[in-house]
Structure 1
Amino acid sequence: MVRILQGLLVAIGILAGILLISNLDKGIDVISKTEIQVVLLPGGTLQNVVDSFPGTQITNAEAGYVSVPADKKQELERQIARHREVQLTLPVVTTPSFDFKRYTEAVKVQFNAYLDGDFGMIGYMSRPEPLPITDSLPEMLKRSLSYLAPGLFLGIALGFFAALLAVWKPRAGKFLDAGQGFLMSLPDFFVVVLLQFIAIAINKLAGSPVIIIMQFVKQTPLLIPMLAISLLPAALVYGTLRIAFEREWDEGYIKTAYAKGLSRPSVIFVHMMRNTMEDFLTIIPRAVSVALTSLVVVEVMAGIFGLGGYAVNQSIAYVTSLATTCAILAGFSLLVQGLFAILRSRVVVSAKEGA
């Protein structure tokens, strides 16, 4: 019960953190509270304008900046804009500052919007009116999961079986160790670029686009996102299990097993796998987090309209729903964390054998 409460508190904390962080930009104020810019009509003079409004003062005649009392700024700005010598008034951009009151109001507004079922909007270049994120969310989820789920499963399976091969065949292990070190040294975006270059080369050799590189209308890449998502989790799982297997070789039960005449494969599959199960279950949530990061990167670079890449899609003018999609991805990660925490507490204890 205590662990469940701890998990719930962690989940609530993460979701609250997403809400707070997603509104930070709304608390940053770059508009001066005491200055406005006055654009004059031909023949107008800034001094005449200032003389007409007590409490105002010229701060930069060349730029047309006029200082006004902070508590009367909005009222004076409207009045100055109607002056016979003024064409229009503009805000003055100043050094950014953080307005906590403005920030808390923004958080409150968004929280109330969530309670009312408004989870954000998407503004399209081709549409005059924005659409709620809920209209696009089912398609975005389907698209992202189409390569996230198989890519994650492929990565975990590759890492697991590569680690078994490395401990079974030490010569192959040296080659796999080098490959794992190389993959772990590469940033996510470089992996995606490398896969795209390979796909371009294959397409040229084939004489036709056999591998989709970028999303085009309804054509969504599958192979490149799936591989990009799977490679780094595979390297992570491999490295963790490789260390775990090396640790187990020094345990006394290995020597006992060899003394009983068991072969190397028997020792690996019967004994070592059981005692490294905890390491495997522990690294899976981390592999999921890496896969989600790769998902965002590959969707951005491949122009895919999914949970991670829609905000920077060329057809999107603006979004107010990033907190919603971030919460969905975080929720997926938290769900995996919870499931594997349960598995570690119930499966590992009953499966692991002593030395």
Structure 2
Amino acid sequence: MIRILQGILITVCILLGIVLISNVEKGIDVISKEEVQVVLLPGGKLQSVVESFPGAVIVDESAGILKFPPETLKAMSSQLNRHKQVQAVLPVVTTPSFDFKNYAEALKNQANSYLDGDFGAIGYFSRPQPVPISSSLDDMIKRSLSYLVPGLFLGIIFGFAAALIAVAKPKVGKVLDVGHGFLMSLPDFFVVVLLQFLAIAINKMAGSPVIIIMQFVKQTPFLIPMLAIAILPAALVYGTLRIAFEREWDEGYIKTAYSKGLSRPRVIFAHIMRNTMEDFLTIIPRAVSVALTSLVVVEVMAGIFGLGGYAVNKSIAYVTSLATTCAILAGFALIVQGLFAYLRSRVIVNTKEGA
């Protein structure tokens, strides 16, 4: 019961954190509350304009910057716009500051929107009105999960199998260790670029686009996102299990198993795998987090309209739904972590079992 309550508390804190962080920019104020910039009509003079507004102070005459008491700035700006020598009144950008009042108002508006069933919208350059995110969520979720889930499973299986091969065949393991070190040193975006270059080369050799590199209308890449998502989780799982397997080889029960005539494969599958299961179940949530990061990177670089890449799509002017899509991705990670936390509590053998 305590663990369930802890899980609920963690989930609530994460979702609340997403809402708080997604609205931070609305609390950042870069507009001066005391100064405005006056654009004069041809022949206009700033000094004569100031004479009509008691309390106005010229800060920078060449730039047309005037200063007013903060409480009168809004009213004075409106009156300045109607002055016969003034063409326009513009705000002045100043040192950023955080306005807690604006931030609290933004959080209140966000909460009211959620209660009204409004989870944000997407503004397109080609459409006059924003489109509710709810109308696109189904397709976005299906699209992202179509390569996230198989990519994640492929990475976990490949990493686990590579670790087994490395411990069973030490010479092969040295080669795999070098490859592991190389993959762990590569940033996500570089992995995607390498896969895209490889796909371009294959397409040229084949004489036709056999591998889709970028999303085009309803043609969505699958192979590149899946591989990009699989590579780093595979390297993470391999590195963790490689260390765990090596640790177990130094244990006394391994020598006992060999003295009883057990073969190397039998020792690996009957004992080492059992005693490293905790390491495996512990690293999976971390692998999921890495896979989600790779998902965002590959969707952005491949122009895929999915949960991670839609916000920077070239056809989109703005979005107000990032909190919603981030919550969906966080929910996926939380479900997986909860599942493996449950498995650790049920499956893990707390005391090592010898041969």
- Regarding TM over 0.5, the answer is yes
Q: Report if aligned partners of 1:37, 1:66 keep a CA contact under 8 Å in 2.
A: yes
The CA distance in 2 between the partners of 1:172 and 1:354, in whole Å, is: 27
Structure 1 354/338 Cα, relative in aligned 2: closer, same or farther at 3 Å?
farther
- Aligned residue in 2 for 1:105: 105
- Aligned residue in 2 for 1:166: 166
- 1:6-45 alignment, distance < 5 Å: 6-45=6-45
Q: Report if aligned partners of 1:18, 1:323 keep a CA contact under 8 Å in 2.
A: yes
- 1:1-355 alignment, distance < 5 Å: 1-349=1-349, 353=353
1:182-228 C-alpha deviation (Å, 9 max, x unpaired): 10111000100000111111111111111011111111100000000
1:27-76 C-alpha deviation (Å, 9 max, x unpaired): 11111100111111222221221111111121111111111110111111
**Residue 101 of structure 1: CA displacement?**
1.4
**Residue 309 of structure 1: CA displacement?**
0.4
The CA distance in 2 between the partners of 1:55 and 1:353, in whole Å, is: 85
Structure 1 132/351 Cα, relative in aligned 2: closer, same or farther at 3 Å?
farther
- The one-letter amino acid paired with 2:205 is L
The CA distance in 2 between the partners of 1:154 and 1:180, in whole Å, is: 16
The CA distance in 2 between the partners of 1:352 and 1:326, in whole Å, is: 40
- The one-letter amino acid paired with 1:156 is I
The CA distance in 2 between the partners of 1:351 and 1:327, in whole Å, is: 38
- The one-letter amino acid paired with 1:329 is L
**Residue 345 of structure 1: CA displacement?**
0.6
- The one-letter amino acid paired with 1:76 is M
Q: Report if aligned partners of 2:18, 2:327 keep a CA contact under 8 Å in 1.
A: yes
The CA distance in 2 between the partners of 1:51 and 1:249, in whole Å, is: 88
The CA distance in 2 between the partners of 1:147 and 1:138, in whole Å, is: 15
The CA distance in 1 between the partners of 2:47 and 2:350, in whole Å, is: 86
- Between stretches 223-232 and 113-122, larger displacement belongs to 113-122
Which secondary structure state, in structure 1, belongs to the residue aligned with residue 30 of structure 2?
strand
Taking structure 1 as the reference length, what is the TM-score of the superposition?
A: 0.98
**Residue 349 of structure 1: CA displacement?**
3.2
Structure 1: runs of 5 or more not aligned: none
Cα RMSD after superposing both structures = 1.2
Structure 1 122/352 Cα, relative in aligned 2: closer, same or farther at 3 Å?
farther
Which secondary structure state, in structure 2, belongs to the residue aligned with residue 349 of structure 1?
coil
**Residue 352 of structure 1: CA displacement?**
5.5
The CA distance in 1 between the partners of 2:222 and 2:252, in whole Å, is: 47
The CA distance in 2 between the partners of 1:63 and 1:224, in whole Å, is: 52
The CA distance in 2 between the partners of 1:199 and 1:128, in whole Å, is: 37
- The one-letter amino acid paired with 1:196 is Q
| Segments of 4+ moved more than 6 angstroms | none
1:238-271 C-alpha deviation (Å, 9 max, x unpaired): 1111111111111122111111111111111111
Report % sequence identity. 77
The CA distance in 1 between the partners of 2:177 and 2:134, in whole Å, is: 45
Which secondary structure state, in structure 1, belongs to the residue aligned with residue 136 of structure 2?
helix
The CA distance in 2 between the partners of 1:6 and 1:52, in whole Å, is: 65
The CA distance in 1 between the partners of 2:122 and 2:322, in whole Å, is: 10
Q: Report if aligned partners of 1:274, 1:351 keep a CA contact under 8 Å in 2.
A: no
Which secondary structure state, in structure 2, belongs to the residue aligned with residue 91 of structure 1?
strand
**Residue 167 of structure 1: CA displacement?**
0.8
Which secondary structure state, in structure 1, belongs to the residue aligned with residue 348 of structure 2?
helix
Task: Say how many residue pairs are matched.
Answer: 355
Q: Report if aligned partners of 2:254, 2:354 keep a CA contact under 8 Å in 1.
A: no
**Residue 353 of structure 1: CA displacement?**
2.5
Q: Report if aligned partners of 1:121, 1:321 keep a CA contact under 8 Å in 2.
A: yes
